[in-house]
Amino acid sequence: MSLRETSTHRALLEEAVSYADGTGADLVLLWHLDEEEYDADVEQLESIGRVENVDYDHSSVVEGAAADAKSFAEPLIAETGIDVHIAVSVDNAETRGERILDTANEQGCDHVFVVGASRSPTGKAIFGDIAQKVALRFDGFTTMVTT
């Protein structure tokens, strides 16, 4: 499951948790960090580290993102018995679909939950759509919620 912290993603997470709880499946949450935001966060941490004389690096940003994902998901998974694995992806809109597919394959997922953009068919054809790419190329079930 690919996540950002929005109400649409929360609805998608609720669906994925319900599915995992009902089927006994594990849940893999993929939390996205935009490359530019990630670079800015790493630079900021390095600046803070120089002032504090502490060595912060990119792993601190990834660990912080994993903690954000856990806190986002925790209220929905707290009362279930499902195992949750959190993956963090640093990507951009052009590479996000590939990262979702790679993570699903690496983790052995048989079902992917993804948020898609509400666009006209022409808009999707011209500009592409991450969810559409995943749905067409994933070798398993795909559940999609549109914004």
Tens of pLDDT, residues 34-54: 888 888 888 888 888 888 888
Nearest to 41 by CA among 54, 30, 57: 57
Count of positions (residues) in the chain: 147
Phi/psi class of residue 15: alpha, beta or left (left: φ > 0; alpha: ψ in -120 to 50)? alpha
Check whether 30 has a pLDDT greater than 70.
yes
The pLDDT value recorded for residue 127 is: 47
Reported as a single tens digit per residue, the pLDDT across 63-80 is 988 998 999 899 989 889
Higher pLDDT, 105 or 61: 105
Residue 51: how many CB atoms within 10 A of its CB?
A: 7
The pLDDT value recorded for residue 49 is: 81
The CATH number that applies at residue 113 is: 3.40.50.620
Nearest to 86 by CA among 41, 5, 27, 13: 27
- Domain count within the chain: 1
Q: What is the domain range of residue 110?
A: 2-146
Sign of the torsion formed by the C-alpha atoms of 142, 13, 9 and 66: negative
Check whether 1 has a pLDDT greater than 70.
no
Least confident span in 9-23, 25-39, 46-60, 110-124: 110-124
- The sheet carrying 27-34 orders its strands as 2-3, 27-34, 84-91
The pLDDT value recorded for residue 126 is: 46
The pLDDT value recorded for residue 128 is: 60
The pLDDT value recorded for residue 42 is: 85
